[in-house]
Chains A and B, each alone.
Chain A
Amino acid sequence: MSKNNIKNSLKTGSDKDGYFGEYGGIAAGENLMHNLEELKNAFEDAIKDKKFLDEFAYHCKHWIGRPSPIYFAENLTKKIGGAKIYFKQEHLNHTGSHKPTNTLFQVLLAKRMGKKKIICESGAGQHWSAAAATAAKFSLPIVGVMGKIDVARINQNILKAKHYGGKLKVVPGSLREAITAAIKEWSNNPDYYYLIGSTCSSAPFVDIVRYAQSIIGKEMREQFMELEGKLPNEIIACAGAGSNFSGSIHEFLDEPEIKKVVVEAQETAALTNGTKGIMQGMVTKFLQSDDGSKSLGGTSLGAGIMYYGISPQLAHLNDIGAIEASVASDKELLETYKLVAQNEGIGISFEPAAAITEALKRAKGKPKDYIICATCCGRVEKDLDVIEKLIGKDFE
């Protein structure tokens, strides 16, 4: 089904210097250049190795529980009145999000490279718990770096990761500081494997994470053909840096008739409100001060979509009109959570609530054979306490 031989394909990944159009690249210190080159070579080599890919596929199926099913949200569809609303249920994966697909791929890559220790960063803690679980399974020690703000509000993932044997390092701040601190740790210890959680930072990270996550879209294609006999008209997913969205749409990038809509947190919408800049190892859109010395942006209930930058590939795709960008507010996240819980009996986390908010808006009034698929990338457990505190009485 893939159309990699088509002219001007959008599926070819970054160019030789790691750019997607004018975004991406490598804005890293000289002391990291060798690591990045080593990683790039190892990645390109690994994805040509059938044995490696078979091993990845095996563990995707038996350890993560892939493929994650698509689900027809019939009650919501009826309630809204319009397009058929589907969920791609990434929250049913082991560890409760789309994250373990990436951590599995990269831990296998780390092992293939002979790395003995892993370091990673995390925002919502979803990546941290997935990374720690994967490291435990493959017997590699792991250190995670998280910002104090995120640690304070999400403790379930942190507890899980602790039980898997992960050692957590807490730094002041949020995901931005965690990424910077993890990169510093990596530059102090070049023999570690740096397991990045999303499609951000220097090349080749963006390509690696997108490669692993593109399984989401591949599964969607097969599942929709089987269930509906056709592909969805729109694919919607939320984005912090963008791994979930990139993974959902990559398969369909050369099919412009399928609309691809990315939803960011209103408070940190880099695609919608950001300007081009160079931070965190990459050229992309950031919410930043005019002089580039500080990042900007508020806080969102969705910790995993609270990032002041965006995948450089998505910045490029947005510029050329291959994707559309939207935002969701905290109020909408809460409202959508409630709707999904009460109508479908599914507890989603705040992040996918952003995507479903957009799906509901777009479904209204559309023809009945129009299909919208929203990727549901996390389950509610990590957000339960906050939800109960904010709107618990709504359910009484």
Chain B
Amino acid sequence: MSNRFNKIFSNTTQKTKLVAYFVACYPSYEKSLEIIKKAIDSGISICELGFPTQEASGEGPIIKKAHDHCLEKNITLKDTLKLAKEVRKYDKNVGIILMGYMSNVFKYPIDKFVKELAEVGADGCLIVDAPHELKEENQLRNALTEKNLSLIKLIAPTTTNERLKIISKFFSGWVYNLNFSGVTGSKSADLKQVEQMIKKILNLTKLPICSGFGIKTPEEAKKVASSGCDGVVVGSSIVEYIEKNANDKNLTQNVGKLIKTFILELNKQ
């Protein structure tokens, strides 16, 4: 894993880090880059760059719509890597994770993807439909490890204790804890359940844990932060804001303000 995550999570000025998900190149390459730069200035610790795909089987309607928009404009994984490179150029400290599905990575193909991921200065990737049972996940994970990059693993409320123990052997960078089972943006997090799962994960790893799914408001982010996680992931609500205000000339400024309201709440703990 890259040292960057170590640095990010050992920084004590902000107790719970904000991980922000963006659909890469949405609503356009230039706008997306501008928004992400603003988000970094506003205090996010890690940015997840979602690369578009047709099925997006884990995504709810909000993120799916943004994916479809990008596909219509023929945005590919290559563009997302290019975007990641620009983001890294802008900021040396922010964590950068590419997030998406196996279909694109497999076709890139895997080795070339990992090589370029390292070249652009990203810290790793998170692949939604790649459990460790998938042979192609093993290929990807091995290639990433060789380059000192992380494959972020996910834990769901439905993950059994036995399975959690197995997955914990593959943890790298940080752990993504899903607050509920379902697609993105569909429900709110059940705090008690989140707390229980984080306790279980803490027993198995020293790595940081970030909790995501179902965090729609700064208040909800604060609540989930109190569950003992090291970071919270906000996705659908940012993407939804961009979707609804795509033509607003103050969009970038306002996304920055939105992110600051999350950070402000997180710092109130």
Binding site for B on A (CB under 8 A): 17-19, 22, 25-35, 176, 180, 183-184, 187-190, 277-281, 283, 288, 290-295
Contact = CB atoms under 8 A, between A and B. Distances in A.
Contacts of B167: 30
A291 B54 CA distance: 11
Interface in B90-115: 101-108
A138 B182 CA distance: 28
Interface stretch (B154-162, B217-225, B246-254): B154-162
B133 interface: yes
Contacts of A279: 55, 103
A280 B129 CA distance: 9
Contacts of B76: 291, 293
Contact of A293 (B57, B103, B155): B103
B52 interface: yes
Contacts of A26: 131, 133-134
Nearest to B67: A293
Contact of A176 (B55, B77, B103): B55
Contacts of A176: 54-55
Interface residues of B, number: 44
7 contacts: A29-B128, A30-B154, A35-B158, A277-B107, A280-B55, A291-B77, A294-B54
Contacts, number: 125
A309 to B, nearest CB: 11
A278 B102 contact: yes
Contact of B134 (A27, A189, A190, A288): A27
A293 B129 contact: no
A19 B135 contact: yes
A30 B156 contact: yes
Contacts of A293: 52-54, 71, 76-77, 103-104
Contacts of B255: none
Interface of B is mostly: loop
A27 B57 CA distance: 10
A28 B158 contact: no
Nearest to B51: A293
B57 A180 contact: yes
Closest 5 CB pairs of A and B: A292-B107, A31-B156, A188-B182, A31-B181, A34-B158
Interface string B155-175: 111111001000100000000
A33 B163 contact: yes
Contacts of B53: 292-293
B23 interface: no
B54 A183 contact: no
A107 B174 CA distance: 41
A31 B182 contact: yes
Contact of A184 (B158, B159, B183, B187): B183
B108 A291 contact: yes
Contacts of B44: none
Nearest to A294: B54
Contacts of A180: 55-57
Contact of A292 (B58, B104, B135): B104
B158 A33 contact: yes
B209 interface: no
B77 A188 contact: no
A26 B137 CA distance: 10
B77 A283 contact: no
Contact of A29 (B54, B71, B154): B154
Contacts of A280: 55, 57
A31 B55 contact: no
Contacts of B156: 29-31, 33-34
A29 B132 CA distance: 11
B130 interface: yes
Interface in B40-68: 52-58, 60
A293 B52 CA distance: 7
A28 B160 CA distance: 16
B35 interface: no
Given A187-B183, A292-B105, 8 more contacts: A18-B133, A19-B135, A31-B58, A188-B182, A278-B129, A278-B136, A283-B136, A292-B107
A19 B135 CA distance: 9
